[in-house]
Amino acid sequence: SRRWPIVAVVGLPLEVEGALYNCAAVVNRGHLLGIVPKIYLPNYREFYELRQFAPGDAAEQRELSLAGETVPFGSRLLFAASDEPLFRFAVEICEDLWVPIPPSSYAALAGATVLINLSASNITIGKDDYRRELVSNQSARCLSAYLYAAAGWGESTTDLAWDGHGMIYENGNRLVESERFLERSQLVTADVDLERLAADRRRQGSFAQSRFHYRQEVEGFRRIPFRAELPRDGVLLLERSYERFPYVSSDPQKKEERCREVYQIQVQGLAMRLQATGLRKAIVGISGGLDSTQALLVTCRAMDRLGLPRSNVLAYTMPAFGTSERTLEQAVRLMAALGCSAHQIDIRPSCEQMLRDIGHPAAHGEKLYDTTFENVQAGERASHLFRLANAQGALVVGTSDLSELALGWCTYGVGDQMAHYHVNASVPKTLIRHLIAWEAERALLGEETSGLLREILATEISPELIPGGEGGQPGQRTEEVVGPYSLQDFHLYYVLRFGYSPPKVAFLAWTAWHDRNRGSWPIGETESRPEWSIAEIKRWLRIFLRRFFAESQFKRSCIPNAPKVGSGGSLSPRGDYRAPSDSPATVWLAACEAIPDRDPVGLSPR
Query: pTM of the full predicted structure?
Result: 0.93
CATH number given to 252-592: 3.40.50.620
Which residue positions in the chain have pLDDT lower than 50? 604-606
Domain ranges of the chain: 7-226, 252-592
Predicted confidence (pLDDT) per residue in 434-473, tens digit: 999 999 999 888 999 999 999 999 999 999 999 987 777 8
The pLDDT tens digits for 477-487 are: 999 999 999 99
Q: What is the pLDDT of residue 473?
A: 81
pLDDT at 527: 66
| Residue 235 pLDDT | 63
The yes/no answer on whether domain 7-226 falls in CATH 3.30.420.610 is no
At 395, is the secondary structure helix, strand, or coil? Answer: strand
Task: Let me know: does 457 contact 437? Beta carbons within 8 Å.
Answer: yes
* Three-state secondary-structure class, residue 123: coil
Pairing of strands 222-226, 77-81: parallel
The H-or-E segment that residue 77 falls in is strand 77-81
Between the alpha carbon of residue 435 and those of residues 109, 205, 270, 281, the distances in Å are 39, 33, 17, 24
Q: Which residues contact 415 (CB under 8 A, 6 or more apart)?
A: 375, 378, 379, 381, 382
Q: Is 13 helix (H, G, I), strand (E, B) or coil?
A: strand
Q: How far apart are CA 454 and CA 289, in angstroms?
A: 11
Write down the pLDDT at residue 265: 98
Residue 249 CA to residue 255 CA, distance in Å, equals 5
Is residue 550 classed as helix, strand or coil in its secondary structure? helix
- Element housing 252 (H / E): helix 252-277
Cβ-based neighbour number of residue 376 at 10 Å: 26
